[in-house]
Amino acid sequence: MHLQFLGAATTVTGSQYLLTTERATILIDCGMFQGSPNESIRNRIPLAYDPARIDAILLTHAHLDHCGLIPHVVKSGFKGPVWATKGTVELASLVLLDSGKLQDEFSKRQVRREKHDPAKAAMFDKRDRDALASAEELAADGVDGSLNTADAAAARAATAGESNDDGGLPPVAVPVGERRHFDDPRQDAGHFGSRRFDAALLIPGPPLEASSASDPAAIPAPLSGASAPSASSASEIAPPAIVAPRVARDPEQALVKQPAILDIELDEPLYDAADAQASLASFRGIDYDTEIEVAPGIHATYVDAGHILGSAIIRLRVADQDDGPELRLVFSGDLGRTGTPILRDPTVVTDADYVLIESTYGGREHEPEAESNQLLADAVKLVADHDGVLLVPSFAIGRTQEVVWELHRLIEAGKIPLLQLFLDSPMASKASDVYRRHPDYYDAETTALLAAHDAPLDYPKQTITNDAKQSEAIAQAPRPYMIVASNGMLTGGRVVGHLRNLVDDPSAVILFVGYQGEGTLGAHLQAGATTIKLDGQVRRVRCQVRSISGFSAHADESELLSWIGNFATGKAPGVSGWPKTVFIVHGDPDAQAALEPKIKALGLHTHIPLWHEIVELA
């Protein structure tokens, strides 16, 4: 029995795991890589399996980084069912149809650009071909552990003196192959041998420095500070067999050095809206806490993950033979937070042979709920006092509903003025309708509000914009006002248009309420970038940038440790239900490095898988 990590391995995106037994092959999640070009190019490598031989796809929830490749896999020959909760089925239909439409639009835009500037288009094409070749090699390394220094030298020679699309600035070569901060002998630089450099992972030089002169019209910046808890170590039990040697290269080294640039360049779409529509026929809705046989010898139970509507932790009972021994596998999916509005808390699970746990917020803690609400109220009052604009980049499903819920509560409590709110995301509006159709997924507090005929998903002065012209017209609206627009990391969507208007406006505030993946434009702004590059133009950052982590739909480190700790409570290593290995997935390298020793301190054996790595489960 083998498990291959085809995504969400030392990165927070592209979740996809291939489980193979003697009788069946299934996928758990089938997500797209998102974020910087070094991430998204991974969607273009050939599939690691024959889709026609996959018996089923099990989907944890409807975010694109978990479901976004399903139309591509169906188009490539997959004929089986896609199992998901009924809420996830509805939300995934919105996500996939929107994804197909956007890919088609981007492809058409690329054709127009090729006609307008063939030389530049050819340069982008070469960049993408080089990046694809590098991604394919990286995936192959994950399977066979190869480290071909001749190829590395050729890559360095091929890029010597090469220009880029940042106005002729010299490229900066990013060393690949020395993973950062992992307390693991396999990550020792000496084990890797030669350092590697990839042509596809060249980035431009640093951006221009902004003027240090103060702006009297600017909104004053808040003070902030945070600290991370310390780590400890503990004893381990035997790990699973590693079928393939570990890959000796680390694409995250290049990813974290991705500059503050947003240039969206796509070739032919992986799929279009028609392909996405066709894939929806494969979806099968199931209820929580109901076990079904999804493939010969593989039984699945979905329990509430508390992340977004319909999100699930998937528990599997897997047997190679009818009367043979079973293994219990638990896939956390994305774990939600305890005590947050609208949805129930993540389900406690206590027994497994192997566990895959997400690690998005490893090493970090969210603010307490009261502090998060106060920070939101402060931001609203700030733009009200300065006749400004509050821009909240937010993913359409989950985060947007919670932000609107909290704004409604703050208005009712008299803690903020009633400003105009533009909900500039058609998908968010449709997703809210799905939320309204599934009150059976709500927690007790939200259920009580509905019983009292309250409308927790509606803001009293809310305008929903349904088309691009309405979105563009927001800039002419009387100030002050608020905008909630997707997507949450500023990697695309309508929020980018608002960023163009507001990035150099000192009376504007950009308020991040969710995780910003390493290398994304959102992460650079959050880290204090003084200039960014939009549409090929360098723009100075004069708006204020603030962040609230308490609205995250992801569990923080303490909540992750609390959830995984249930597998060790009341048991000893080696007894039934004690995990043989906890695989730490869906996290950037620093987050995983912070979380791993704390899971070990619980007495659990851990492993951080690499992209395309295969492990044997026994």
Task: Tell me the C-alpha distance between 557 and 563, whole Å.
Answer: 10
Looking at the predicted structure, is the pLDDT value of residue 411 above 50?
A: yes
Strand, coil or helix: 457: coil
Q: Phi/psi of residue 167, each to 5°? A: 70, 25
pLDDT confidence bin for 111, thresholds 50/70/90: low
Task: Tell me the C-alpha distance between 309 and 314, whole Å.
Answer: 15
Task: Tell me the C-alpha distance between 287 and 330, whole Å.
Answer: 17
Q: What is the pLDDT, as a whole number, of residue 182?
A: 24
Q: What is the arithmetic mean of pLDDT over 327-338?
A: 97
Per-residue HEC secondary structure of 569-611 comes to CCCCCCCCCCCCEEEEECCCHHHHHHHHHHHHCCCCCEECCCC
What's the length of the chain?
A: 618
Sheet hosting strand 261-262, strand order edge to edge: 261-262, 531-534, 537-540
Q: What is the dihedral of CA 149, 155, 156, 160, to 10 degrees?
A: 160
Looking at the predicted structure, is the pLDDT value of residue 589 above 70?
A: yes
Q: What is the arithmetic mean of pLDDT over 215-228?
A: 41
Looking at the predicted structure, is the pLDDT value of residue 379 above 70?
A: yes
E-strand stretches of 448-498: 462-464, 481-485
Higher pLDDT, 182 or 222: 222
Between the alpha carbon of residue 410 and those of residues 209, 372, 378, 407, 527, the distances in Å are: 39, 12, 11, 5, 28
Q: What is the pLDDT, as a whole number, of residue 467?
A: 86
Strand, coil or helix: 244: coil
Residue 612 makes CB contacts below 8 A (sequence gap 6+) with: 4, 5, 6, 9, 48, 138, 139, 140, 141, 142, 143, 244, 247
- Same domain for 297 and 401: no
| Residues above pLDDT 90, as percent of the chain | 55
Q: What is the pLDDT, as a whole number, of residue 485?
A: 92
**At residue 73, what is the residue type?**
V
Q: Are the C-beta atoms of 16 and 9 separated by less than 8 Å?
A: no
User: For 480-508, b where at least 16 C-beta lie within 10 A, e where not — what string?
Assistant: bbbbbbbbbbbbebbbbbbbebbbebbbb
- Same domain for 460 and 346: no
Q: Is the peptide bond before 487 cis (omega within 30 degrees of 0)?
A: yes
- Same domain for 415 and 379: yes
Q: What is the arithmetic mean of pLDDT over 251-260?
A: 49
Q: Are the C-beta atoms of 389 and 505 separated by less than 8 Å?
A: yes
DSSP states of 154-201 as a string? HHHHHTTT---TTTTPPPBPPEES--SS--SGGG-HHHH-S-EE-GGG
Q: What is the arithmetic mean of pLDDT over 522-540?
A: 91
- pLDDT tens digit sequence for 433-445: 898 899 999 998 8
- Same domain for 581 and 436: no
- Same domain for 593 and 576: yes
Q: Which of 495, 513, 547 is the last residue of a domain?
A: 547
Looking at the predicted structure, is the pLDDT value of residue 460 above 70?
A: yes
Q: What is the pLDDT, as a whole number, of residue 489?
A: 84
Question: Which range, 71-85, 430-444, 542-556, has the best average confidence (pLDDT)?
Answer: 71-85
- Same domain for 344 and 405: no
- pLDDT tens digit sequence for 155-168: 323 323 222 222 22
Its sign, for the CA torsion 589, 595, 598, 603, is negative
- Same domain for 356 and 448: no
pLDDT confidence bin for 263, thresholds 50/70/90: very low
Q: Are the C-beta atoms of 412 and 454 separated by less than 8 Å?
A: no
Q: What is the arithmetic mean of pLDDT over 128-154?
A: 50
Number of domains in the chain: 2
Looking at the predicted structure, is the pLDDT value of residue 344 above 90?
A: yes
Per-residue HEC secondary structure of 73-134 comes to HHHCCCCCCEEEEHHHHHHHHHHHHHHHHHHHHHHHHHHHHHHHCHHHHHHHHHHHHHHHHH
Looking at the predicted structure, is the pLDDT value of residue 237 above 50?
A: no
- Tell me what the pLDDT averaged over the chain comes to: 79
Q: Which of 520, 547, 574 is the last residue of a domain?
A: 547
DSSP states of 328-363 as a string? EEEE--S---TT-SSBPPPPP----SEEEEE-TTTT
Task: Tell me the C-alpha distance between 408 and 418, whole Å.
Answer: 10
State the helix-helix crossing angle for 86-116 and 426-437, rounded to 10 degrees: 170
Q: What is the pLDDT, as a whole number, of residue 126?
A: 64
State the helix-helix crossing angle for 399-412 and 369-385, rounded to 10 degrees: 70
**Residues in a beta bridge with 19:** 3, 26
Q: Do the bridges between strand 531-534 and strand 537-540 make them parallel or antiparallel, or are there none, so unpaired? A: antiparallel
Least confident window among 180-194, 289-303, 315-329, 335-349: 180-194
Q: Is the peptide bond before 480 cis (omega within 30 degrees of 0)?
A: yes
Strand, coil or helix: 58: strand
Q: What is the pLDDT, as a whole number, of residue 492?
A: 81
- Same domain for 611 and 491: no
Looking from the CA of 580 toward its CB, the CA atoms found within 13 Å total 13
pLDDT confidence bin for 553, thresholds 50/70/90: confident
Q: What is the pLDDT, as a whole number, of residue 333?
A: 97
Q: What is the pLDDT, as a whole number, of residue 196?
A: 25
Question: Which range, 82-86, 187-191, 547-551, has the best average confidence (pLDDT)?
Answer: 82-86
Q: What is the pLDDT, as a whole number, of residue 226?
A: 37
Looking at the predicted structure, is the pLDDT value of residue 61 above 70?
A: yes
- Same domain for 284 and 238: yes
**The CATH number of the domain where 415 resides is what?**
3.40.50.10890
- Same domain for 146 and 120: yes
Q: Which of 490, 518, 547 is the last residue of a domain?
A: 547
Q: Do the bridges between strand 82-85 and strand 175-176 make them parallel or antiparallel, or are there none, so unpaired? A: unpaired
Record the tokens describing residue 341, joined without a space.
């509005």
**The CATH number of the domain where 62 resides is what?**
3.60.15.10
Between the alpha carbon of residue 90 and those of residues 86, 310, 438, 507, the distances in Å are: 7, 9, 10, 39
Q: How many CB atoms lie within 10 A of CB 540?
A: 16
Q: Which of 171, 174, 206, 203 is nearest to 529 (CA)?
A: 206
- Same domain for 358 and 270: yes
Task: Tell me the C-alpha distance between 119 and 127, whole Å.
Answer: 13
Q: Domain residues for 495?
A: 369-547
Task: Tell me the C-alpha distance between 234 and 14, whole Å.
Answer: 31
Burial of 591 (0-12, 13-18, 19+ CB in 10 A): buried
- pLDDT tens digit sequence for 168-199: 222 222 222 222 222 222 222 222 222 222 22
Q: Are the C-beta atoms of 493 and 400 separated by less than 8 Å?
A: no
- H/E stretch holding 405 reads helix 399-412
Task: Tell me the C-alpha distance between 72 and 6, whole Å.
Answer: 15
Least confident window among 252-266, 517-531, 548-562, 566-580: 252-266
Higher pLDDT, 402 or 472: 472
Task: Tell me the C-alpha distance between 389 and 383, whole Å.
Answer: 6
Q: What is the pLDDT, as a whole number, of residue 609?
A: 96
- Same domain for 345 and 404: no
Q: What is the pLDDT, as a whole number, of residue 113?
A: 66
Q: What is the arithmetic mean of pLDDT over 18-46?
A: 90
